[in-house]
């Protein structure tokens, strides 16, 4: 296991009714900007509950943050926050609203053009406005991590930054607020969380049995509970377990002291930037082929994954590995997220498009061994057609 420094300051309030805690969590006297998306929070009661909890506070609102939030939209929130001298941000929504709010929080304390925050992955970010979160979509883990992904529409760039300054102060996770999710977003959330675990687990053995077994437990929970959320959408226990799984998948815990991959995510971000696919759709396309193309380097962990997660013990090693990858594909399909480029109307030109974008963005040495070159990326995408 490598050396590590584990730091996660986000306070989590989990369960039905926890939104009322906003009254005491948001500092009295704060000038609050509440940020949200396209309106789902108004249809499922979250908006009303948040406003009621903040009845004693000064609250401004910025709605309309879109999935895969754009710089162009967020500039409006930055301007509003400046104009009203806001000093606390409250993100109410899914990963896109939370990520967008992190970007706004950093931009408000940043000297220079906001988009340059993305340079060197956010290394220049020193400070940010305090941020709280009310989560409505379990998927990204953004509610308790320090990462944000924003798209610049003008240049079709989707880029991430990380900074301790943007860890949320608190995150409220009320599973009942996820009952209203469309099936597509339920599937997306489960696939995204699954792939987050895989990016930190499916590399090479690193003498880290605790991280491995946490990861395997999260994968098994997602496999067991995910289909139940589609079959019985109002089952609170199922939603609660999915929500907690997605948070733990990317709050830093399972990633400490172990090698991490993230090549699937980097290809996926280019697919979204170019063709507008949902984040999880891109992962469902890329991950299985990535695993097949990099089978030799990932052999030991693929065998462990086959045995411990899918219970595959029979047959020779290659048979078990292929069966585990096929089971993974079938699971994504079962969650309603197809795994081929063609399923989304994309052909060979998308392979060229993504490879060119990776080169243009200098993402030419990806993965835990930095051996995912544009050529390897091409092989994976070809296999995913
Ligand atoms: O905009 P509204 O009307 O709220 O509708 C949203 C949106 O259309 C809807 N929704 C959310 N909660 C709902 C709901 N509909 C009904 N009931 C509810 N309770 O769902 C749609 C998708 O929302 P979005 O926030 O875009 O989804 P998600 O949470 O999957 O976030 C995706 C974004 O997060 C980034 C992705 O790249 C993408 O931009 N990621 C962020 C990460 C991070 N910060 O650590 C890591 C991830 O790998 C990922 O890259
Ligand atoms: Zn993701």
Residue 192 CA, ligand 2 centroid: distance in Å = 5
- Taking all residues of the chain, what is their mean pLDDT, rounded to a whole number? 98
Query: Ligand 1: which of 99, 150, 264 to mutate, judged by most atoms within 8 Å of the beta carbon?
Result: 99
Give DSSP secondary structure letters for 92-148.
EESHHHHHHHHHHHHHTT-SS-GGGGGGGGGTT------EEEEE-S-SS-GGGSSEE
Query: Ligand 1: which of 137, 161, 177 to mutate, judged by most atoms within 8 Å of the beta carbon?
Result: 137
Which fold, 11-177?
Rossmann fold (3.40.50)
Residue 282 CA, ligand 1 centroid: distance in Å = 14
- Please name which ligand lies nearest the alpha carbon of 95: 1
Direct distance between the N- and C-terminal alpha carbons of the chain, in angstroms, rounded to an integer: 37
- Dihedral (Cα; 245, 260, 147, 63), 10-degree rounding: -60
**Structure tokens of 257?**
């002291």
Residue 37 CA, ligand 1 centroid: distance in Å = 9
Residue 91 CA, ligand 1 centroid: distance in Å = 12
Ligand 1 within 6 A of 239 CB?
no
Residue 142 CA, ligand 2 centroid: distance in Å = 9
Q: What is the pLDDT of residues 314-326, one digit of tens each?
A: 999 999 999 999 9
> Taking residues 212-216, what's their average pLDDT?
98
Instruction: Identify the band that residue 101 occupies on the pLDDT scale cut at 50, 70 and 90.
Output: very high
Query: Ligand 1: which of 66, 92, 93 to mutate, judged by most atoms within 8 Å of the beta carbon?
Result: 93
> Can you tell me the distance from the alpha carbon of 128 to that of 218, in angstroms, rounded to the nearest whole number?
31
Ligand 1 within 6 A of 252 CB?
no
Q: For ligand 2, a single-atom ion, which residues have Cβ within 5 Å?
A: 192
> Can you tell me the distance from the alpha carbon of 324 to that of 358, in angstroms, rounded to the nearest whole number?
28
Q: Please report the pLDDT score of residue 269 as a whole number.
A: 98
Ligand 1 within 6 A of 336 CB?
no
Query: Ligand 1: which of 66, 69, 149, 153 to mutate, judged by most atoms within 8 Å of the beta carbon?
Result: 149
> Can you tell me the distance from the alpha carbon of 97 to that of 66, in angstroms, rounded to the nearest whole number?
8
Instruction: Identify the band that residue 246 occupies on the pLDDT scale cut at 50, 70 and 90.
Output: very high
Residue 123 CA, ligand 2 centroid: distance in Å = 21
Q: Please report the pLDDT score of residue 48 as a whole number.
A: 98
Ligand 1 within 6 A of 144 CB?
no
Domain 183-383 listed as CATH 1.20.1090.10: yes
Ligand 1 within 6 A of 175 CB?
no
**Structure tokens of 70?**
């754009």
Ligand 1 within 6 A of 145 CB?
yes
Confidence (pTM) = 0.99
Give DSSP secondary structure letters for 37-96.
-SSHHHHSSHHHHHHHHTTTSEEEEE--PPSS-BHHHHHHHHHHHHHTT--EEEEEESHH
**Structure tokens of 2?**
């490598």
> Can you tell me the distance from the alpha carbon of 320 to that of 331, in angstroms, rounded to the nearest whole number?
16
For the chain, domain boundaries: 11-177, 183-383
Instruction: Identify the band that residue 42 occupies on the pLDDT scale cut at 50, 70 and 90.
Output: very high
Q: What is the pLDDT of residues 148-203, one digit of tens each?
A: 999 999 999 999 999 999 999 999 999 999 999 999 999 999 999 999 999 999 99
**Structure tokens of 150?**
């924003």
Q: What percent of the chain has pLDDT over 70?
A: 100
Look at strands 170-173 and 58-62 and give their pairing. unpaired
Q: What percent of the chain has pLDDT over 90?
A: 100
> Taking residues 55-70, what's their average pLDDT?
98
């Amino acid at each position: 296991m490598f050396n590590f420094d584990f730091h996660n300051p986000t306070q989590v309030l989990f369960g039905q009714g926890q939104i009322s805690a906003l009254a005491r969590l948001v500092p009295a006297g704060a000038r609050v900007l509440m940020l949200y998306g396209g309106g789902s929070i108004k249809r499922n009661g979250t908006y009303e509950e948040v406003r009621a909890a903040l009845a004693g506070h000064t609250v401004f609102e910025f709605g309309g943050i879109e999935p895969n939030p754009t710089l162009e939209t967020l500039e409006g929130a930055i301007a509003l926050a400046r104009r009203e001298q806001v000093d606390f941000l409250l993100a109410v929504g899914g990963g896109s609203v939370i990520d967008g709010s992190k970007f706004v929080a950093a931009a408000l304390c940043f000297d220079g053009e906001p988009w340059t925050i993305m340079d060197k992955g956010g290394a220049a970010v020193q400070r940010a406005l305090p941020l709280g979160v009310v989560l409505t979509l379990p998927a990204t883990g953004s509610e308790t991590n320090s990462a944000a992904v924003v798209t610049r529409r003008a240049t079709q760039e989707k880029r991430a930054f990380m900074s301790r300054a943007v860890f949320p102060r608190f995150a409220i996770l009320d599973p009942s607020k996820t009952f209203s999710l469309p099936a597509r977003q339920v599937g997306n959330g489960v696939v995204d969380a699954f792939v987050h675990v895989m990016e930190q687990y499916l590399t090479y053995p690193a003498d880290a049995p605790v991280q491995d077994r946490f990861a395997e437990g999260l994968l098994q929970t997602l496999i067991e509970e995910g289909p139940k959320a589609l079959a019985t959408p109002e089952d609170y226990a199922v939603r609660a377990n999915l929500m907690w799984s997605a948070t733990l998948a990317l709050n830093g815990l399972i990633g400490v002291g172990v090698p991490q991959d993230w090549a699937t995510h980097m290809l996926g971000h280019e697919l979204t930037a170019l063709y507008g696919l949902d984040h999880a759709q891109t992962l469902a396309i890329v991950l299985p082929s990535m695993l097949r193309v990099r089978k030799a380097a990932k052999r030991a962990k693929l065998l462990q994954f086959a045995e411990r997660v899918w219970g595959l013990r029979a047959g020779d090693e290659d048979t078990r590995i292929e069966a585990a990858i096929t089971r993974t594909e079938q699971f994504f399909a079962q969650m309603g997220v197809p795994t081929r480029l063609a399923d989304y109307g994309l052909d060979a030109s998308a392979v060229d498009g993504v490879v060119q974008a990776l080169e243009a963005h200098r993402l030419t040495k990806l993965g835990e061994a930095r051996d995912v070159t544009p050529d390897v990326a091409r092989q994976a995408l070809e296999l995913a057609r």
